[in-house]
Structures are given as structure tokens and as C-alpha cells.
Amino acid sequence: MDVVQKFLWFIVAISVLVAAHEYGHFIAARKLGFKVLRFSIGFGRPLLSWRGGPPDHIQYWVSMIPLGGYVKMLDEHEGPVVSEDRHRAFHQRPVWQRVVVLLAGPVFNFLFAILAFWLMFISGVQVPKPVIGAVEPGSVVAAAGVLPGDEIDTVAGKPTPTLESATLTIIAELVGDGVVDFTVRRADGSTRSVEIDARGRAEELTVPGVLFTGLGFQPGPPPAAAVIGAVNASSPAERAGLEAGDRVIRGNGSPIDNWDEWAEFTRGRPGETVDITVLRDDRELTLTATLDSVTEGGKTLGRIGASGVGNRFPTIEQRYGVLESLPRAVEKTWEQISFTVSIVTNMVTGDVSLKNMSGPLSIADIAGDAAEMGFAYFLSVLAAVSISLGILNLLPIPLLDGGQIVYQLAEAVKGAPLSERAMLLGQQIGIFFVIALTGFAFYNDIVRLFGS
């Protein structure tokens, strides 16, 4: 998918999520008697606009810059208010009502996530299983006896049927006491308990893309057997008599257990004549091939001219009925809220890498890829981003909903509105934090997408 398409999917995602967030503010304000003047998706001048009916004749806008939105309420701080409407102005309403209106935006983001996960579970989605594809020799998991093809069955006693659930639970353990206890299930059904001591490594291992390599394994299918899938015409493989379906078991008398070993064997022998032992219809055959010699990236490599069958990433389908999908959607939303709050908290304390912060470039890239994979995957991304948006807005930073809630609570404690000076100072601090967070997220995006 090209950059333009990804950008368009990003606009779709942000517009939907902002609409959900702002609708929360909007509907709560109207139900509690606040006077709403305008509901806008996007900023700037309106591209589309219309007015609602009496008594308030609310303006509805779709504006030029589709990267946000707002609900404009009657507020004496922003202009004169006629006496008959004064009781409906934002700062004239009881503090608890103002807090409810401010909370409603993030709450609707969480409700939207439940809706998105519910639809995803109804339509069904294929998700990767937590299968270990490769184990690094000498790593802690190798020392614990973990083998390629093992499946992570539980982490910290919790069942982990999907790679996502295993990953989230491992990270939660890392930012907890740093000791990860899990069990793996072998192909024969037996299980093995594994303990990884990663105390003091949480910040290092929570850098995006580092978790599995840092622990010494990679998820995915185990290395594929060296089974020939296709033979190129006029290649050394064809001349030697290799056929599709042959399984290579030895090269020059040395065992070959998987495709990676077979590829290494051929690459390391440019121009050499080699003996290849294969299994064909349960019979062993020894063939002789003279490998081609090719130069790639300044290196001379051997090539035989045959491709493998390969292994697919093991997956599990998550599909449930209409009724069963709802509690599962609620549970998944709560798990992601809890996980995100934990990550944000540990980023503040320095226990989790700040590189986990993502900005619009990463969201656009992920949204575009998910849209290409299918509707269910796009719903999953929408739900995850909606949860992040809801939690972000609850941070106690002026300009965000959380900061505004702090203002209202401070007024309730003080018994009077905060001074104009305090409000202005808070605004300035909020602007600084928002610019700093946005800039850092953009930096992370650029490093992540274009390399360090």
C-alpha cells in the first residue's frame, strides 16, 4: 500500500475516533443542560456545515484540517453571555457536571473500543499463536531448554492462546518484578516450566522490536524442513535430478535438519561439486550437483536453483457468537486499558523505554497495513488507538481533558474559580507539554520508519 493510501486510512481512523471522543462530550453536555454551540470534526474553516433545530440551533461542521475536533459550549470566558442563558454556560454548571462532561470523551473512546472488538470477534480474525520459531544458542531460553516449535502455554500462570496475549503478559512481568515465569508445550503435548530473570532490563527490553531478540528467541514457525518446493529450469538442481517434494537430509555426508542449514550449505560452496542425500518416497537417494557461483553484495555465494516449501506462521481464529463476543470485547478492552496505563506509568518513572511513544506517522503506517489485511484487523487497530487516545486525554496536562478535570476539582476544593493568572500559566505549561510530546512522538516515528 502506497503512502497516499496509508494517509487516507489514517484520516479515516482519526476522524472516526475523534468523532467518538467528541460525541461523548457532546451528548453528556446536552443531557446535563449545557448549551452547545458547535460540534466540529476537524479544525479550521468548515467544508460542510448545517444547523440543528430548536431550541439551540447547534452548528455541525466538518472542517478543513481532519486531525482533531471539538465541542464548543457557551462560556463566559470566551465572550458575552445573555442573562437568560447564563445558567447554561460551562463555568456556571455544577463542578460535578463539568467533570462528567470532560470524562465523557475518554469514556466514549473506551466504549468505541468495546464496539470495535465486538464487531471484530463477530466477523472473526486470524491471530498468530505464541509459537517459538528460533532460539538463539547460548541465550537464557536456550539454557532453560526451550526448543524451536515449542508453544508458550501460560505466562505467570495466565493462559496465552495468542502471540499478543503472551507478549503483553511478558511485558507486564518485566515491568513488575522482572522475573518471567512461563510454560511451553512441546509437539508431543508435554510441558516445561521456564523462568527468565530479566530484573533491571525492563527499559532495554521494552524498546520496540527488541523484546524477543533480547530474551533470545523469535516467534514464528520453527525452521522449515529442507523440502524442495520447485526446481528452476537449467539449474544445478535440475541437472542433478532434484525434484519437488525431495527432502534433503544430508550434504556431503553431514546432517541437514532444516532449510536454513540447507541454504547455508549451498551458499558456502560456490562452484563446488557436492553430494546431496534426499528422501524421495521413503527411499534415500544420493545425487551429485555442481553449484553455480554468484556475487551478491560483494560476496561470492553458491546457488543450486531450488526453492523450498516453507512454513506458515501458526494461527488461531477468534470468532464468537453475537452474545459471547460482548463480554470478550469488554475483557479485551479492560486488558488493553490496564496494560496501556501500566506502560504509561512506567514510562514516566523511566522503567519503560520512551521509544514506545508513537505519533501520526506510525499510526498511519499501522492503519494502512491493517486496512490491507482486512476489516477485522482494521477494527483491532481502531480499538487499540481509541484506548490510547482515551488514556492520553486523561493525563493531568492542561489543554487535555485530564488537565481540565484537575482545574474543576481545584475549584471545588478552593470554593471559587482559579485566577486568570493560574489558568494562563496552566495553559502555557500545557502547550509546552503537548508540543514536547508531539515532537518526541514524531521523532520516534521517523527513527522507527526510516531507521536510526
H helices of 394-419, in order, are: 401-414
Let me know whether 218 and 343 are in one domain: yes
Q: Residue 70 phi/psi, 5° resolution?
A: -165, 160
On whether the CB atoms of residues 422 and 433 are closer than 8 A, the answer is no
Strand runs (DSSP E) across 36-190, as ranges?
36-51, 59-73, 125-128, 132-135, 151-155, 158-159, 179-185
Which secondary structure element, helix H or strand E, spans residue 239, and what is its range? helix 236-240
What's the pLDDT score for residue 308?
Answer: 83
The verdict on residue 235 lying in a domain is yes
Claim to verify: residue 251 and residue 319 sit in the same structural domain? no
Domain final residue pick, 328, 356, 384: 356
Give CA–CA dist 350/202, Å, rounded: 9
Statement to judge: residues 190 and 337 lie in one domain: yes
The maximal CA–CA distance of the chain, rounded, in angstroms, is: 98
Matching residue, cell 515491568: 175
Cα 118 from Cα 115, distance rounded (Å): 5
Average pLDDT of the residues in 210-235: 85
What local confidence, expressed as pLDDT, does residue 95 receive? Answer: 93
Whether residues 211 and 336 share a domain: the answer is: yes
60 DSSP β-pair partners: 39, 50
Domain match, 335 and 234 both:
no
The 8 Å CB, 24+ separation contacts for 444-452 are 444/354, 444/355, 444/357, 444/358, 444/359, 444/362, 445/358, 445/359, 445/360, 445/361, 445/362, 446/361, 447/355, 448/208, 448/355, 448/358, 448/362, 449/361, 449/362, 449/365
**Could you tell me if residue 24 is inside a domain?**
no
Condensed to tens digits (0 to 9), the pLDDT of residues 159-214 reads: 999 988 998 898 888 888 888 899 999 878 888 898 888 888 888 888 877 888 88
In a domain, 59, yes or no: no
Amino acid at residue number 40:
S
pLDDT at 433 over 80: no
Are 216 and 318 within one domain? Answer: yes
The pLDDT assigned to 374 comes to: 83
> What range defines the domain where residue 250 resides?
228-308
Tell me, yes or no, whether 191 and 214 share the same domain. yes
**Structure confidence by residue, pLDDT tens digits, 279-292:** 998 899 999 999 99
Task: Verify that 177 and 140 share a domain, yes or no.
Answer: yes
**Residue 138 included in any domain:** yes
Q: Are residues 328 and 301 in the same domain?
A: no
* Residue 366 counted as domain residue: no
Report the SS3 class of residue 126. strand
Contacts of 4 (CB under 8 A, 6+ apart): none
Q: How much is the pLDDT for 137?
A: 86
Answer yes or no: is 115 within a domain.
Answer: no
Three-class SS state of 154: strand
pLDDT over 80 (residue 338)? yes
Residues 229-249: what's their mean pLDDT?
91
261 as an active site residue: the answer is no
Who wins on pLDDT, 370 or 27? 27
Residue 259 lies in a domain: yes
40-89 pLDDT, tens digit each? 998 889 999 999 988 889 999 999 888 788 999 998 877 778 888 889 99
Is the predicted pLDDT of residue 1 greater than 60, yes or no?
no
Do 176 and 319 share a domain, yes or no? Answer: yes
Beta-sheet pairing, 247-251 with 273-280:
antiparallel
Distance CA 98, CA 107 (A): 14
Which among 383, 390, 353 has a CA at the least distance from the CA of 366? 383
pLDDT of 364 higher than 80: no
Counted domains in the chain: 2
Q: Mean pLDDT of all residues in the chain?
A: 87
Position 452 pLDDT exceeds 60? no
pLDDT of 370 above 80: no
Say which CATH number the domain at 234 has: 2.30.42.10
- pLDDT, position 198: 84
Q: What pLDDT sits at residue 442? A: 66
Give 119-151 pLDDT, tens digit per residue: 999 999 888 899 988 888 888 888 888 888 889
| Of the listed ranges 164-178, 307-321, 419-433, the one predicted with least confidence | 419-433
Question: Is 353 or 83 the better-scoring residue by pLDDT?
Answer: 83
1-15, 16-30, 393-407 — most confident range = 16-30
pLDDT band at 330 (very low <50, low <70, confident <90, very high): very high
CA dihedral 186, 184, 212, 197 (to 10 degrees): -140
pLDDT(22) > 70: yes
* Domain limit, last residue, from 244, 278, 308: 308
Quick one: 289 and 185 in the same domain? no
CB 144 within 8 A of CB 194: yes
* Model confidence band, residue 12 (pLDDT cutoffs 50, 70, 90): confident
Q: Is residue 211 part of a domain?
A: yes
Pick the range with the lowest mean pLDDT from 7-21, 310-324, 412-426.
412-426
Q: Compute the CA torsion angle 52, 56, 62, 63 (nearest 10 deg).
A: 150
Spot the catalytic one: 22, 204, 243, 372: 22
Grid cell in block for residue 447: 527513527
Residue 270 and residue 137 share a domain: no
Query: DSSP code of 221?
Result: P
Q: Measured between alpha carbons, how far apart are the two ends of the chain, in Å? A: 23
